[in-house]
Chains A and B, each alone.
Chain A
Amino acid sequence: MTDPAELLSSYDPAVRPPRLSASDVSYVVEDTSIGRMLLARNDTGALVASSFVADDAAEALLLQRLSVRVSPRVLRQPRELDEARRQLEEFLAGRSHGFTLRTDLALASQFQRVVLPRLAATVAYGERTTYGELAAAVDRPRAARAVGAALGANPLCVVLPCHRVVAASGALTGYAGGLAAKRRLLELEASH
């Protein structure tokens, strides 16, 4: 005879996962042509993250940041990101030159809130700038390195185009999604 405690422990009914409606933060993880990305929006529909998450550990880290900085009510809700996914796909296919998404820099530092909008407003599709030029543009001419760090941690990759910033030598230097992704984005913009 089997012990009742064991039978109860191994109880295995047919179950299905809960269906929750969208809450404070909705996200989706998407395999794009330039890498695995996590897109997230807040409760007003503004995009708060468009970030490369190479693996599960990077994904977990970003979810934790969203939980702390925006709201712990973070749910995987792909449908809520349909418009952002569509625009990203159009952009990566070379069919569009920009985004009409509302963004929110909740995950950004004070300095990033100065640098990233400035970048988006001044460096157009197909153009490039350097860390030094961008530093000068935000009235911090000696802060090229800080600008590099601010762009490296850009929470809204591609949408806020930090890939358009290169070294004074023309070298691509670094990119959150890897240099291959940066090269691909620059080539895409050069040819469309």
Chain B
Amino acid sequence: MGVSLPAFQTLVDAHWRDVARLAHALAGPVDGDDVAQQAWTQALAAYPSLTSARNLRGWLLTITHRCAMDAHRGRARRAVPHDDVASLPAAAPTAPAADAALADDGLWTLVAELPQRQREAVVLKYVADLDHPTVAAALGTSPAMSRRLVSDALATLRKEMP
């Protein structure tokens, strides 16, 4: 007997705003909607094979993060003149959030300038409001490392913010 999953629509109704916020924070306003859309399509396809109904919000946001990173890599790949993926820099020269004319106190420019892993961690922790075990799983690292990345990111942001 499989797990008893809620109707998918209840997930959409409960979490679509959170998925869209995370997609926009990681991919910027230009790609944000596409990334969110892609995340929902992938989640819908994978949904019946889920083996647990626990932390569905975390599952959705983890998929969103992965889609944002895929979009990011796709964009970086298009930007290099030859198709040599191995020669890509670890982070694309302009992080997606940087091309946003986001109303803030220069926060998003600073977030965009963070090292990529720190940027992902701090956005997953605070924009998506995920706990460290879930952030760590999304980043493929340990909760201890997730804590470190987040606190380093916050320290930088606090120092640089006007």
Contact = CB atoms under 8 A, between A and B. Distances in A.
B8 A74 contact: yes
Give the secondary structure class of B's interface: helix
A190 interface: no
Interface in B101-123: 102, 104-105, 107, 110-111, 122-123
A158 to B, nearest CB: 23
A72 B9 CA distance: 9
A23 B122 contact: no
Given A8-B126, A15-B33, A18-B12, A71 B48 contact: yes
A67 B12 contact: no
Contact of B10 (A3, A23, A63): A63
B6 A64 contact: yes
Contacts of B69: none
Contact of A8 (B8, B127, B158, B162): B127
7 nearest CB pairs, A to B: A15-B20, A8-B126, A74-B7, A4-B157, A63-B7, A18-B40, A72-B5
A150 B159 CA distance: 69
B78 interface: no
B72 interface: no
A75 B8 contact: yes
Interface in B1-34: 4-10, 12, 16-17, 19-21, 24-25, 29, 32-33
Contact of A18 (B10, B36, B48, B111): B36
